Structure 1
Amino acid sequence: MTTEQFDEMFDNGEDVSAYVDWSKARRPNQEARRVNVDFPAWMVRDLDKEAGRLGVTRQSLIKMWIAEKLG
């Protein structure tokens, strides 16, 4: 299959998943980097309470909130 054929299938909304090696798929600019941040105890407590209310982890909650502000 040529690139042009693949693009045409994709553009037509056809299923091209059989032609993709998903084990090597990467999202650009999505590699993780560790960042350490110190929060006061009261803030951690409130973060945990809100994370529990939403049913997510503290880390996920912080990521969601930061993404909202940056996006």
Structure 2
Amino acid sequence: MRTHRRPTCATPIRPKPSIRPDGRQTVIVIVVLVLGAALALAGTPVAVLAETLTACGLIGAQLARRAQSAPTGM
């Protein structure tokens, strides 16, 4: 019986498993969403709201990365 073999250069591409957010990333998302909702209800213009949420998300991500690299006990 003849079997079908793939050439070694044509390996199937497997999708990477999705990465689930940890606790720090989840907190950042929740804080940014709550801040956005509060600013939107206060009547903040859309452009200012988008800039503020972007800045808060970037600052939060930087702080989350920095907290992971800090030595234990500090």
**TM-score, length-scaled by structure 2:** 0.30
**TM-score, length-scaled by structure 1:** 0.31
Q: Which has the larger radius of gyration?
A: 2
